[in-house]
Structure 1
Amino acid sequence: MKKYRLQIPEGVQDYLVDEQYNKLLIEDKIRKIFDSYGYDEINTPTFEYYDVFSGDDVIIDDESMFKFFDRRGRIMVLRPDMTTPIARMAATKLQSNPLPLRLSYISNVFRYDEPQFARQREFTQAGVELLGSRSSQADAEVVSLAITVLERVGLKNFQVELGQVEFFKSIIDGINLTDGQVEKFRALVEEKNMVALEGFLNNLELPDKVRETVFMLPKLYGGIEVIDEAAKLTNNEKALEALDNLKDIYCLLRDSGLEQYISIDLGMVSSLQYYTGTVFKGFTRELGFTLLGGGRYDALMGNFGQDMPATGFAVGIKRILVALGKQDMLVKKPAVDFLVTYHRERYAVAVKIADRLRDMGYRVEVDLEGRPAQEILKQRGGTDTIIEIGQDLKIKTLDSQDGGCMIEDIGKWLWELDKQYWGNEG
């Protein structure tokens, strides 16, 4: 036998029945939420030219991309995220559409990262992109939508943290730092590594006010009062404007009744070259990783010849599954509603009855061997109701709870079932 025939590669997985059932339930809920906010679902190719994802202001490292050559020698990439190809699509195919554009997706993406718990190389993301508005209301809508997703999929005890990368950028603007120093600076602040940050700052020639402000950044988290505390640390006009923007967004969310879910973290300074304003992350206390992330990225569309403000977020479906599992919120896939069995001469009748039930919306199996109902019930147990069709065309039902009964009028019985099903649906 070939070595890898019975294995799957690192970083991918098989979804078995119950997990796939829960995954589809979550995706369906999210899809309906996105649609209710007026977002139109789109999709992009699974692989694209490398040029789409290359550059200095992209969010995915080059080393994290799955790359290959086509037959003409061009470098192709399995899409590592959805935001960038959506920006390409919007710039090339939707440029005449009225703004703002509200676009959504639920798609698989691929990253050549080291596999970890709930971190895979192929995974499903659901997200939105709101293109064409610089307003605080646009940022608040996207954050509100993210909160709604976490709430309606059934998560408890979650929190969404808001940050502002322009505040950090404005504070360090004008300081003579290399790109490598800026990135190290950013990483230490985001990691809240106070000891290493202090050592790093001591090796830089910085104005005392700047040193004090950036050293305080990892400590600036909490409620709206954090924004006022930060404003006292600087007189930098751009930094103060960034704080005003963050405060506007916070107040919009508070006034929408969402304050219980949000907090401020000015030490959240994700990807300075990509994000251009407010950023946010969602998490639960039970897990040591984020469930979703997003923010404003006004510069990305310029890579495709269209200057257009934009904001959005993406949530990891696998991470939602893990979080719901930790909170004991996953469900087992229900058994079929009916299993139809029959005398061997009455197979056609069984199929017709099964089809009628399926048309009503029920899940129905037809037994492939026409076994006696008692035998099936003993073996399977979980099936809701077994319908048995005799040679004499007498029809009876059997289940583990009520025992069963003869059906005198199959038409009336089906009519009653139909009425019952749609009554429950309504």
Structure 2
Amino acid sequence: MQRTNLGLRIPKGMRDLLPEEIAVQESLEEKILTLFKQWSYQKILTPTLEYSACVQPDVEQEDLLYKFFDREGHILTLRPELTIPIARLVSTRMRGGEFPLRLCYGADVYRNSNVRHREFRQVGVELVGSDQELADAEVIALAVEAIAGLGLKNYQFNLGHMGIFSGLMLEAGVDEGIRVKLEEVLARKDMVGVELCVRQSGLPERVQELLLRLPHFRGGEEILDEVLGWSERPAIREAVESLRTIYRYLEDFGVQANVALDLGILRGFSYYTGAVFEGYVPGIGFPVVEGGRYDALYADFGLPQPATGFAIHLGNLLEQFPLPVVEGADVLVYGSDAQKVIRQCQTLRAQGKKVELALGVSGKETAELAAQLKNIKEILCVE
């Protein structure tokens, strides 16, 4: 039966990858995962499908999830990210492990959003079991080195802390509804939405002005001293001093020059509690690296542990690299006796060569043309 027009298309936000595009993606992923392993991170993998009960409580917009029913009537979800599934994995199969755990991954995630891509490849790390600022600095430095190692230029990382925003909300006595709305528009960097929400909030004038400054308040360590003058509330002061310590560690790691403090960073998943960061590269108007600390998530799975980590949106980086000429086989084997051709192919493959068996090719001229078109280095005629 001939396919309808819809059957010839792919769902919105999904994409096919051609051999040369796959070659770029696999090369980038291999470089990054090799670096992760050099920093003692071990690779794991979780299922593409999770029960919605696992991921839904920590996704602020439920309609971002792709949902299905299984045969037993349970609601399943395509994973929108890896942090929550890894928390489930650690809290079940790895709960007796030696903490801190350093874990890494490379996998596809799915978000039913309005952005260009709804399916994209992520590589990332989770450092589970340490509440030290040194752990935050390690994952940020690793993220910076991962992007630098791909050969990208003029990249920029921004570092903030959820505690500063939370402290302002506590000091102003903001109710939950307004806080959630403010956090949402700030996380999206929706400046019009931020101003509208702040002006309609009924908050004290001083708090309104501070909130309106947050999205634009970035720089070096000097901005932290100004923040200390905003409030005596311990949550804000602790966040500032934590940021200061992390930022100074980044100098020891040799990456501080590529990291700016940005107090307007808020993450779109509800579990973030501490330092948060984003990485940008020229030509892409949204973060290609997102990460931060999430010290409360593991308690929800019955295994309280502090944790921090990040994800690199690898699929969004593909267009930053030229497509290579896809290498063909090492040798094209042809001849008029099919059995002899098969045996020769098998012999060469046993020697570790990449071999293509020519189909419908018996003459040298035809074989040479086929090899040229397929970027095959050598031809071999079997008599």
Equivalent pair of 2:345/2:355 in contact (CA under 8 Å):
no
Q: Whole-Å Cα distance in 2 between the matches of residues 196 and 389 of structure 1?
A: 70
Q: Whole-Å Cα distance in 2 between the matches of residues 54 and 289 of structure 1?
A: 24
Q: Whole-Å Cα distance in 1 between the matches of residues 323 and 249 of structure 2?
A: 33
2:334 pairs with one of 341, 349, 352:
341
Equivalent pair of 2:189/2:215 in contact (CA under 8 Å):
yes
Q: Percent identity?
A: 33
Q: Which amino acid aligns with 2:142?
A: L
User: Are residues 201 and 18 of structure 1, via their aligned partners in 2, closer, same or farther at CA, if it must alter by over 3 Å?
Assistant: closer
Q: Whole-Å Cα distance in 2 between the matches of residues 84 and 272 of structure 1?
A: 10
RMSD: 2.4
Judge which range, 222-231 or 296-305, deviates more: 222-231
> Is 2:250 the partner of 1:232?
no
User: Are residues 205 and 373 of structure 1, via their aligned partners in 2, closer, same or farther at CA, if it must alter by over 3 Å?
Assistant: same
Q: Which amino acid aligns with 1:35?
A: K
Equivalent pair of 1:147/1:160 in contact (CA under 8 Å):
yes
Match of 2:8, SS? coil
Which has the larger Rg?
1
Note the C-alpha offset of 1:60: 5.0
* Structure 1 residue aligned with 2:40: 38
Note the C-alpha offset of 1:385: 3.1
Alignment of 1:297-316 (within 5 A): 297-316=294-313
Equivalent pair of 1:341/1:386 in contact (CA under 8 Å):
no
* Structure 1 residue aligned with 2:380: 388
Q: Give the TM-score of the pair, scaled to structure 1.
A: 0.81
Q: Whole-Å Cα distance in 2 between the matches of residues 343 and 104 of structure 1?
A: 50
Q: Whole-Å Cα distance in 2 between the matches of residues 175 and 20 of structure 1?
A: 51
Q: Which amino acid aligns with 2:173?
A: N
Note the C-alpha offset of 1:376: 2.2
Note the C-alpha offset of 1:172: 1.6
Q: Give the TM-score of the pair, scaled to structure 2.
A: 0.90
Q: Whole-Å Cα distance in 1 between the matches of residues 52 and 190 of structure 2?
A: 35
* Structure 1 residue aligned with 2:279: 282
Runs of 5+ consecutive residues of structure 1 not aligned to the other structure: 392-426
* Structure 2 residue aligned with 1:408: none
Q: Which amino acid aligns with 2:44?
A: I
Note the C-alpha offset of 1:47: 1.5
Q: Whole-Å Cα distance in 2 between the matches of residues 192 and 351 of structure 1?
A: 58
* Structure 2 residue aligned with 1:424: none
Q: Whole-Å Cα distance in 1 between the matches of residues 83 and 269 of structure 2?
A: 16
* Structure 1 residue aligned with 2:362: 371
Match of 1:254, SS? helix
Q: Whole-Å Cα distance in 2 between the matches of residues 11 and 349 of structure 1?
A: 45
Q: Which amino acid aligns with 1:165?
A: M
Q: Whole-Å Cα distance in 1 between the matches of residues 138 and 174 of structure 2?
A: 36
Match of 2:324, SS? coil
> Is 2:344 the partner of 1:350?
yes
User: Are residues 285 and 352 of structure 1, via their aligned partners in 2, closer, same or farther at CA, if it must alter by over 3 Å?
Assistant: closer
User: Are residues 270 and 388 of structure 1, via their aligned partners in 2, closer, same or farther at CA, if it must alter by over 3 Å?
Assistant: closer
* Structure 2 residue aligned with 1:394: none
Note the C-alpha offset of 1:332: 2.5
Q: Which amino acid aligns with 1:355?
A: R
Q: Whole-Å Cα distance in 2 between the matches of residues 5 and 204 of structure 1?
A: 49
Equivalent pair of 2:54/2:85 in contact (CA under 8 Å):
yes
Note the C-alpha offset of 1:259: 2.0
Q: Which amino acid aligns with 1:386?
A: E
* Structure 1 residue aligned with 2:68: 68
Equivalent pair of 1:49/1:74 in contact (CA under 8 Å):
yes
Note the C-alpha offset of 1:212: 4.0
1:179 pairs with one of 176, 179, 182:
176
Q: Whole-Å Cα distance in 2 between the matches of residues 133 and 81 of structure 1?
A: 21
Note the C-alpha offset of 1:271: 4.0
Note the C-alpha offset of 1:210: 3.3
Q: Whole-Å Cα distance in 2 between the matches of residues 221 and 207 of structure 1?
A: 23
Q: Whole-Å Cα distance in 2 between the matches of residues 199 and 153 of structure 1?
A: 40
Match of 2:344, SS? helix
Note the C-alpha offset of 1:75: 1.7
Equivalent pair of 1:350/1:389 in contact (CA under 8 Å):
no
